[in-house]
């Protein structure tokens, strides 16, 4: 067993135990993922346990590539005889699907809502027999766990009180202000083409092509400029605003065709964020540099 991979795994788990998460968890996770990637590239993972340790760190990543690699590493862990790799392979695959706005397959992923926790949408075609093959409990047990989580553990609120917030029904949007970065933000991966099963709106503004992004989906114009973006939001949804850009934008309730909504427009770049709760229970965040009517049409045409 590789001792450094074990230590990175144990640090990852230690940061997620106790009463609260470290304020610099994102930075810690990034540093661990970078080191795990270096070790993997150097061939450090040999045993099933090594692959499991690496997979666990990567599945706490920030983009689809992290989740997919975690899934592949966990599969290799299981192939090498490490039993815990089977559940992690299923969980990483579910997370990969969830962050594309698609139903999860096995039922391992939960999400926070304005009222507590819930089991993220599950593909009804998956059977409990399939779950058992991957050491995943039956769906009824996952639903019981969601109810228990909601009853016992309150949602952890952000350490910084939002500078502006609004709640409409079960939708909630907050804007928090942060200081200017001392370092440039990390480069985001380039958009990639859509794949089968991705949530493509039935309607997009003319001339736009749908693409995948690191944290969701969007549509670009002929010059490759992102014009519209969409994803399934967390609850409550939080928007960041740089302190040097002046007073933060104020969210407002909006009337939509058959849906509830909260809008927040930036006067700086013309982008508007629209948080939509549809009649079918789906929540979507749609944003873009276009009219509100166009954003509503995109949201309502999503699957």
Largest CA distance in the chain: 58
If pLDDT is split at 50, 70 and 90, which confidence band does 268 have?
low
Cα–Cα nearest to 262, from 145, 143, 173 = 173
pLDDT of 157 reads: 46
**How far apart are the C-alpha atoms of 164 and 238, rounded to whole Å?**
10
How close are the terminal C-alpha atoms of the chain, in Å?
45
Would strands 110-113 and 116-119 be described as parallel, antiparallel, or unpaired?
A: antiparallel
| Of the listed ranges 113-117, 192-196, 205-209, the one predicted with least confidence | 113-117
pLDDT of 181 reads: 47
Q: What residue ranges do the domains of the chain occupy?
A: 3-152, 164-301
pLDDT of 290 reads: 86
If pLDDT is split at 50, 70 and 90, which confidence band does 182 have?
very low
Q: Could you say which architecture CATH assigns to the domain 3-152? A: Alpha Horseshoe (1.25)
Higher pLDDT among residues 293 and 55, named by residue: 55
Q: What is the CA radius of gyration of the chain?
A: 20
Hunting for tokens 């997979």 — which residue is that?
Answer: 55
Higher pLDDT among residues 89 and 214, named by residue: 89
Q: Count CB atoms within 10 A of the CB of residue 22.
A: 13
pLDDT of 189 reads: 54
| Of the listed ranges 21-30, 78-87, 159-168, the one predicted with least confidence | 159-168
Ranges of H-type helices in 107-165: 128-133, 139-152
Q: Which whole number is the average pLDDT over 290-301?
A: 88
pLDDT of 20 reads: 66
- Answering whether pTM is above 0.85, one says no
The structure tokens listed for 116 are 């507590």
For 123-150, write each residue's pLDDT tens digit.
999 999 999 999 999 999 999 888 887 6
Higher pLDDT among residues 154 and 283, named by residue: 283
Sequence-distant (≥ 6) Cβ neighbours of residue 147 within 8 angstroms: none
Q: Which whole number is the average pLDDT over 215-238?
A: 82
Q: Which whole number is the average pLDDT over 11-29?
A: 83
Percent of the chain with pLDDT over 70: 86
**How far apart are the C-alpha atoms of 250 and 271, rounded to whole Å?**
13
The answer for 184, left when phi > 0, alpha when psi is -120 to 50, beta otherwise, is beta
Higher pLDDT among residues 117 and 231, named by residue: 231
Ranges of H-type helices in 101-240: 128-133, 139-152
């Amino acid at each position: 067993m590789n001792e450094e991979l074990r230590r990175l795994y144990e640090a990852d788990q230690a940061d997620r135990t106790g009463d609260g998460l470290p304020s610099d968890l994102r930075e810690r996770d990034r540093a661990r993922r970078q080191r795990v990637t270096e070790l993997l590239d150097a061939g450090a993972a040999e045993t099933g346990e090594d692959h499991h340790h690496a997979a666990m760190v990567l599945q706490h990543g920030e983009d689809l590539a992290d989740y997919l690699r975690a899934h592949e590493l966990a599969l290799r862990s299981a192939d090498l005889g490490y039993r815990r790799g089977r559940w992690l392979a299923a969980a990483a695959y579910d997370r990969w699907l969830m962050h594309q706005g698609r139903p999860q397959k096995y039922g391992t992923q939960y999400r926070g809502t304005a009222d507590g926790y819930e089991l993220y949408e599950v593909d009804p075609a998956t059977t409990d027999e399939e779950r058992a093959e991957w050491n995943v409990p039956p769906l009824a047990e996952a639903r019981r766990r969601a109810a228990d989580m909601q009853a016992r553990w309150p949602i952890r609120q952000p350490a910084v009180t939002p500078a502006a917030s609004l709640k409409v029904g079960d939708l909630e949007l907050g804007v928090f202000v942060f200081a200017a970065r001392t370092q440039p933000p990390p480069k985001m991966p380039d958009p990639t083409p859509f794949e089968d099963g991705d949530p493509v709106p039935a309607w997009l503004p003319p001339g736009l092509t749908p693409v995948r992004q690191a944290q969701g989906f969007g549509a670009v114009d002929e010059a490759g400029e992102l014009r519209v973006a969409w994803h399934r939001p967390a609850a409550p949804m939080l928007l960041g605003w740089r302190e040097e850009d002046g007073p933060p934008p104020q969210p407002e309730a909006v009337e939509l065709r058959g849906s509830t909504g909260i809008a927040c427009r930036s006067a700086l770049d013309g982008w508007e964020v629209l948080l939509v709760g549809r009649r079918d229970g789906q929540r979507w965040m749609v944003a873009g540099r276009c009219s509100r009517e166009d954003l509503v049409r995109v949201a309502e045409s999503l699957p």
